[in-house]
Structure 1
Amino acid sequence: MGLTKFGEAVREARRQTKQTLLTMSEALGKSPAFLSAIETGRSKVPMDFVSDIEDFFLSLDYPIESMRLREKAMVANEVAPLDGLNLQHQMLVAGFANSDLNKKQLELFAKLLAEIQLTSTQGKNDNAKSE
């Protein structure tokens, strides 16, 4: 089984920070076999463990894009949790999951979503500066 996108991101971060499965597993209190299994997709990625991974790399001055890593974990797990989302978000996720959009439409949707997220991030940064 090949690496998942989540596994690729974690493995690349390990390479960039010169961490092995053993050193990372010791720091996170997990076995090297567990980390290998979530990198390769043999095991599901515990969603609460994603923040531990983010914190681990942040402590090494190598921040991983948290939203992207979380998204990659959801794709690797083949699940998008709805708990904690309001009804409108839940309906949007369900509707999107059941759509028959073609590749071009998906690319346009992804571009629009990225623009919305960028605008949202810029707005938060502007608010923080004015406080």
Structure 2
Amino acid sequence: MTPFGEALRRLRAERGVTQRQMAKAIGVSPAYLSALEHGNRSEPSWEFIQRVIGYFNIIWDEAEELQMLAGLSRPKVTINTSGLTPKATEVVNKLAAVIDRLDLQTLQRIETLIDSDEAFRGAGTVPDGQHRAKDKPPQ
């Protein structure tokens, strides 16, 4: 499940809406909603997110959070480390090798470390869907 899929499922549950009901109302298939919720589809389009926001009548902070979660919900991420340090490539490959075995506490510690680093604040995602590693050699 992706962060967006988890939020979508929570919104439906809070409002007592089935996948079938929501799918019909916003013009997608129930299978598509299910695939989004389970992380079997890539990040949803801006248009789709706007339909969800309108369907649930979400405003302000909650709408921004849903859009942010959608951007963090790509189940297949590519990280390009060409041009970065060998250490950046090493760390990314180690993380890729163990990500499926990390417990929630460890993932939260990694997230806290990333979020606390000024180089990462506001980094977000690159428009082509790739993340940039920020491990640059000291000058």
Q: Do they fold alike, i.e. is TM over 0.5?
A: yes
Residue in structure 2 matched with residue 14 of structure 1 by the alignment:
12
How do residues 11-90 of structure 1 correspond to structure 2 at under 5 angstroms?
11-44=9-42, 45-58=44-57, 63=59, 65-77=62-74
Say whether residues 1:106 and 2:103 are aligned partners: no
- Given that residues 2 and 74 in structure 2 are in contact (C-alpha distance below 8 angstroms), is that contact kept between their aligned partners in structure 1? no
Unaligned runs of 5+ in 1: 80-97, 115-131
Scaled by the length of structure 2, the TM-score of the pair is 0.53
Q: How many residues align?
A: 91
Over aligned residues, Cα RMSD in angstroms?
Answer: 3.2
AA in 1 matched with 2:72: V
- Higher relative contact order, chain-length normalized (CA < 8 Å, sep 6+): 2
User: Aligned to 1:43, what secondary structure does the other structure show?
Assistant: coil
- Given that residues 41 and 75 in structure 2 are in contact (C-alpha distance below 8 angstroms), is that contact kept between their aligned partners in structure 1? no
Distance 1:42 1:10 in 2: 14
Task: Compute the displacement of 1:4 (Å).
Answer: 1.0
| Equivalent of 1:4 in 2, 5, 14 | 2
- Given that residues 3 and 69 in structure 2 are in contact (C-alpha distance below 8 angstroms), is that contact kept between their aligned partners in structure 1? yes
AA in 1 matched with 2:50: S
Q: Residue deviations 1:82-107, cap 9 Å, x none?
A: xxxxxxxxxxxxxxxx8x8x845423
- Given that residues 2 and 75 in structure 2 are in contact (C-alpha distance below 8 angstroms), is that contact kept between their aligned partners in structure 1? no
Scaled by the length of structure 1, the TM-score of the pair is 0.56
Q: Find runs of 4+ consecutive structure 1 residues off by over 2 angstroms.
A: 102-110
- Given that residues 39 and 75 in structure 2 are in contact (C-alpha distance below 8 angstroms), is that contact kept between their aligned partners in structure 1? no
AA in 1 matched with 2:56: F
